[in-house]
Amino acid sequence: MFKNTRLSAVLAAVLFSVTAASALVSAPAMADAPAAAAADAPAAPAAEAAAAPAADAAAAPAADAAAPAADAGGHGGAGAEEVENPFGPKAVWNSGPVAKGSIIIMSIMSIGTWYIIITKFLDQMKIMRQAKETSAKFWKASSIAAGTTTLAEGSPFRFIAESGTKASAHHDGALLEQIDLSTWVTMSIQRAVDKVQSRLQDGLSFLATVGSTAPFIGLFGTVWGIYGALTNIGMTGNASIDKVAGPVGEALIMTAAGLAVAVPAVLGYNWLVRRNKSAMEEVRTFAADVHSVLISGAMSTAESVGRAKKVG
């Protein structure tokens, strides 16, 4: 019923996920730049503080005092440039198989979420556009069969019209004749509407699953990371703030990643469900109108046949 729009959606979802991952990996490098600047900033005041006593003192002691100061400043600047942040998303990836597994699962969830959001949005846009085309072309035709040919191939409105037409034209057989024509046409059109609705709802269960489970997957990675950090602290016997804050903060990145995956899934689910309702209103309205036209035409044909038999 719908044209294939999956390839472009896959590319868009993968591009979005790669961009987000690159931003997370580059975050530690951006954090190192202010640290290096902050380390270089105290060098100027230190040089001024050393220069003032040097001007008041004798020339020889001043020269002797200035040399160690210059050496210290040079070593300090070189050390600040070489310092790298040992914690961050890159360190989380290298922390063990559990962290890697959690990150891989959440990456798959994120790609699937954006893939479904994009493809469902394109399908809904297509249905809205086809609804306008149906209102402009279909109802100006001389019959349901003629109006069906004006609709695009794969359109859900054409599928419903063809289902109703076939039901009204092939109401024969020992079993089917026990069902009146109106009920048979109604059942056929309702089945077609249900198929369209089922197609529109494809993937929404995946969004609901991601929205409800991704935070817990991230939390599992956080708990595992904190467990590893506390184990290392217990083995080394060093519980200083630099030994605790880094690994714990690193583990909390997993919780943030879980939320980053879950929030778009929840918002996308609610947004798509609301748009599905609007699309299905158009479909159901069209189906009801087609049903009325088919039944009224069948009744008119039956009355004409009955009058012809009476005259004969």
The pLDDT of residue 69 is 41
Instruction: Confirm whether 19 is domain-assigned.
Output: no
Name the range with the highest mean pLDDT among 151-155, 242-246, 269-273: 269-273
pLDDT, tens digit, 9 for 90 and up, residues 132-182: 988 888 888 888 888 888 888 888 999 999 988 888 776 565 565 667 778
Of 131-145, 237-251, 265-279, minimum mean pLDDT range: 237-251
Range of the domain at 217: 95-296
Report the alpha-carbon distance of residue 21 to residue 89 in Å, rounded. 9
Alpha helix (H) residue ranges in the chain: 6-40, 43-56, 59-82, 89-93, 97-137, 144-149, 156-169, 181-200, 204-236, 241-311
- Residue type at 299 in one-letter notation: M
Instruction: Confirm whether 105 is domain-assigned.
Output: yes
Instruction: Confirm whether 287 is domain-assigned.
Output: yes
CB 252 within 8 Å of CB 220: no
Name the range with the highest mean pLDDT among 119-128, 222-231, 287-296: 119-128
Instruction: Confirm whether 32 is domain-assigned.
Output: no
Instruction: Confirm whether 309 is domain-assigned.
Output: no
pLDDT, tens digit, 9 for 90 and up, residues 42-89: 444 443 444 344 334 344 444 454 444 445 444 444 445 555 666 666
Closest CA to 110 of 220, 254, 264: 264
Instruction: Confirm whether 243 is domain-assigned.
Output: yes
Classify 7 as helix, strand or coil.
helix
User: What's the predicted TM-score (pTM) here?
Assistant: 0.65
HEC assignment per residue over 92-138: HHCCCHHHHHHHHHHHHHHHHHHHHHHHHHHHHHHHHHHHHHHHHHH
Tokens of 163: 């289902």
Residue 110 has a CB neighbour count (10 Å cut-off) of: 24
Instruction: Confirm whether 237 is domain-assigned.
Output: yes
Q: Give percent of the chain above pLDDT 90.
A: 29
| Positive/negative CA dihedral, 148, 151, 153, 157 | negative
Instruction: Confirm whether 25 is domain-assigned.
Output: no
Report the alpha-carbon distance of residue 109 to residue 14 in Å, rounded. 11
Q: How far is CA 115 from the centre of its chain?
A: 6
The pLDDT of residue 280 is 93
Average pLDDT over every residue of 234-247: 75
- The domain total for the chain is 1
Residue 22 has a CB neighbour count (10 Å cut-off) of: 10
Name the range with the highest mean pLDDT among 20-34, 47-61, 71-85, 103-117: 103-117
- Residue type at 131 in one-letter notation: A
